[in-house]
Amino acid sequence: MKSKWETIVLLMVTAAFLAACTGTGKRPARTGGKQVYKVLKKHQSVASRSAVSTIDRLSLLPPPRMLEPGHRTTQDVLDLYGRYVEQELKPYFQNAGVSYPPKKLAFIALKQEKKFEVWAKNDGDYRFIRDYDIKAASGVTGPKLRQGDKQVPEGIYRIVALNPNSNYHLSMKLNYPNEFDWFHAQREGRLDPGSDIFIHGDSVSAGCLAMGDRAIEELFVLTAQVGAENVKVIIAPRDPRVLPLDPNGYGLPPWTSELYRMISAEMQFFSDEVRVSNSRPFYPVGAPLR
């Protein structure tokens, strides 16, 4: 039970944050993420799940400057969400036997299953960490071919930019079109194969992977901590560890067989047995359950 002094401190600090962020009388802009009161509520709810003191809970609240929409840096996002992301993810890494943060990451997006897997390693093989539901991924089976087709691409990609001020809360840009995509686009005379494909928050998609806001906070922070250059992204039409990919579907280009061979070969490094065995997080004795 909180003492009278702890309750007064909590109310005073919360009131100060609200006054600092809403002094203009204008509603916070959508750009950059959630409204101020939602950010405060989120951090308070995270703190309430933890068996920590009131002072520790107050330390999870972001300083007012972090809440200004449209002006955040990647470091601001790390300062804002880093502590609770670490608190959320460490049990999964502990269960997998991988230190946090790891040296390498692999993200696997399965379009049909609408699952997004996180794998990590320090030395040795990749180990499964956890998965997320993909909230939205527009289009159908098959690679992206042109601007405006609203297809989520398929292939092996890298993250080339982190956007802390996305209109979809937070986002991570993929290097689509990569060399493989450009090669076949040029051979077929497709001058505009599309661009600006992101992994982002929210739950709407026009060729991107929409993960929801809480998931993108964890993925964004994890990527920033590891370094985008150490992250691989595999996007597959469905899980080739369950059934072989079929390159002969209606409307698929002739080079789809080559693409699916590449994806399937890459997926061999991510054992389905390891993924299933580590599908539930490990919580140390006394840790709060979600």
For residue 66, the model assigns a pLDDT of 52
pTM of the full predicted structure? 0.74
The pLDDT of residue 67 = 55
Q: What is the number of domains present in the chain?
A: 2
Same domain, 155 and 267: yes
Structural domain including 205 reads 102-277
CA neighbor of 35 nearest in space, from 44, 26, 46: 26
Is 78 within a domain? Answer: no
Residue 80 in any domain: the answer is: no
HSE (CB half, 13 Å, CA atoms) of 142? Answer: 16
CA gap 279, 290 in Å, rounded: 15
Residues 116 and 211 placed together within one structural domain of the fold? yes
Tokens at 143, concatenated: 């690679």
Which domain-ending residue is among 55, 71, 87?
Answer: 71
Which segments within 171-259 are labelled E, that is strand? 171-174, 198-200, 209-210, 231-236
pLDDT of residue 20: 35
Question: Rounded to whole angstroms, how far apart are CA atoms 109 and 101?
Answer: 21
Strands ordered across the beta sheet of 198-200: 127-133, 115-121, 104-110, 231-236, 155-163, 171-174, 198-200, 209-210, 136-137
pLDDT in tens, the chain (290 residues): 545 555 554 555 444 433 333 333 333 333 333 443 343 344 333 333 433 343 443 455 455 455 566 889 999 999 999 999 999 999 999 999 999 999 999 999 999 999 999 999 999 999 999 999 999 999 999 999 999 999 999 999 999 999 999 999 999 999 999 999 999 999 999 999 999 999 999 999 999 999 999 999 999 999 999 999 999 999 999 999 999 999 998 899 999 999 999 999 999 999 765 555 555 444 333 333 33
Q: Do 146 and 213 fall within a single domain? A: yes
Q: Specify the pLDDT at position 15.
A: 45
Q: Is residue 93 part of a domain?
A: no
Q: What pLDDT is attached to residue 71?
A: 86
**CA 247, 259, 191 angle in degrees (round to 5)?**
105
DSSP state, residue 251: T
The Cα 61–Cα 166 span in angstroms is: 22
In eight-state DSSP terms, residue 230 is: G
| CA gap 162, 173 in Å, rounded | 6
Same domain for 255 and 129: yes
79 falls within a domain: no
